[in-house]
């Protein structure tokens, strides 16, 4: 089928929205709204309130629409602030481990650790699903492709220290691990952590007092969340599809299996993960729970059940530990 919908200007879009039944607004208010936020972006915020014929349910007023939009915006800011703390911690520990634990594979006489160990695939663990020679070759190729992309990005938008490094050490092809990892994207960092040696994963898990398998799964979930938040996607009612691994053993982790825990694929389960992880970082001076409470209080009209929070969510001890 060929797309045949004609484009509409802001005034025509405002008339269309009013015709669909949004309450307590004017043509001028909507034109102003679409001047600063596109109709296409805003239309996602009334999806929960659309009837099958395209009209808007009576429950949605212009004030409620603005509340939902601002709630989602503030939630994205909260998420990015929390992920930054966790991301910096993971970067610091990856740098420390891969800078100090592996020898130079091409200099057997040296006892010094190799700051370029992260470049070589043999210092990483191939996923269990890849066992054949072909799959092993794919793993090696993927690793080197990721390393090359990392350095290409670092050179395309170089920081002062990267510029200085390549100016002084012009014969080097790669950055030492502390520069490379601080220049990498979060996606590359998560990729390297997932394929890193088991001891490093266990060290990270111990740092946050969870199993390394759970932490790895949470990192994957946070990578997707960070991408959504950084690109201004609507997250307040998103079904993330990916289900992060829950803490196992109900006897050992009863609070994670409580009915007051948010839905597994919701934004609020991820916010709960952020609260737990940030609380383990000393001197963060930041409470995800307190900031979340402020956001909810600032926008009382927002139906928080759509975010995955149960009615008794505050009774969950994980928000307060």
Residue 177's nearest CA partner among 118, 102, 101, 110 is 118
CB 221 within 8 A of CB 92: no
Tell me the pLDDT band of 132, cut-offs 50, 70 and 90. low
Q: 203 phi and psi, to 5 degrees?
A: -60, -45
pLDDT surpassing 60 at residue 142: yes
Query: Mean of the pLDDT values across residues 279-307?
Result: 94
CA distances to 1, 223, 230, 305 from 287, rounded to whole Å, are 50, 20, 21, 22
Q: Give 215-257 pLDDT, tens digit per residue.
A: 999 999 999 999 999 999 999 999 999 999 887 766 677 888 8
Helix spans in the chain (H): 10-20, 27-36, 39-43, 62-100, 133-156, 160-168, 177-183, 186-194, 198-207, 212-230, 267-279, 288-298
Q: How far is Cα 177 from Cα 99, in angstroms, rounded to an integer?
A: 6
Domain boundaries, the chain: 10-60, 70-319
Tell which wins on pLDDT, 253 or 50.
50
pLDDT surpassing 90 at residue 105: no
Q: Give 166-184 pLDDT, tens digit per residue.
A: 999 999 999 999 999 999 9
The mean of the pLDDT values for the chain is 91
Q: Which one-letter DSSP state was computed for residue 317? A: G
Task: Give percent above pLDDT 90 in the chain.
Answer: 76
Q: pTM for this one?
A: 0.91
Rg (CA), the chain: 24
DSSP string, 113-176: BPTTGGGSGGGB---TT--SHHHHHHHHHHHHHHHHHHHHHHHHS--HHHHHHHHHSTT-SS--
């Amino acid at each position: 089928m060929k797309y045949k919908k004609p484009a509409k200007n802001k005034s025509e879009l405002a008339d269309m929205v009013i015709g669909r039944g949004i309450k307590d607004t004017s043509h001028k208010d909507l034109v102003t709204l679409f001047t600063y936020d596109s109709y296409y972006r805003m239309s996602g915020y009334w999806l929960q309130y659309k009837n099958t014929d395209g009209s808007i349910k009576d429950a949605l007023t212009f004030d409620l629409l603005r509340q939902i939009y601002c709630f989602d915006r503030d939630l994205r800011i909260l998420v990015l602030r929390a992920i930054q703390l966790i991301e910096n911690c993971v970067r610091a520990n990856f740098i420390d481990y891969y800078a100090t634990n592996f020898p130079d594979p091409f200099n057997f006489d040296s006892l010094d650790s190799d700051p370029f160990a992260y470049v070589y695939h043999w210092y990483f663990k191939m996923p269990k699903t890849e066992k054949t020679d072909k799959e092993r070759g794919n793993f090696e190729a993927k690793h080197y492709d990721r390393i090359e992309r990392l350095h290409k990005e670092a050179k395309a938008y170089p920081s002062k220290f990267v510029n200085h490094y390549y100016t002084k050490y012009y014969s080097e092809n790669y950055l030492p691990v502390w520069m490379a990892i601080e220049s990498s994207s979060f996606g590359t960092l998560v990729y390297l952590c997932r394929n890193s040696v088991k001891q490093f994963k266990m060290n990270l898990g111990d740092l946050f007092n969870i199993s390394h398998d759970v932490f790895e799964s949470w990192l994957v979930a946070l990578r997707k969340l960070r991408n959504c938040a950084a690109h201004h996607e609507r997250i307040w009612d998103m079904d993330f599809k990916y289900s992060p691994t829950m803490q196992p053993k109900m006897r050992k982790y009863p609070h994670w299996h409580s009915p007051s825990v948010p839905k597994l694929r919701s934004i609020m389960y991820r916010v709960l993960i952020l609260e737990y992880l940030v609380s383990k970082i000393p001197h963060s001076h930041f409470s995800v729970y307190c900031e979340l409470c402020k956001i909810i209080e600032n926008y009382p009209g927002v139906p928080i059940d759509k975010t995955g929070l149960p009615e008794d969510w505050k009774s969950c001890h994980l928000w307060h530990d």
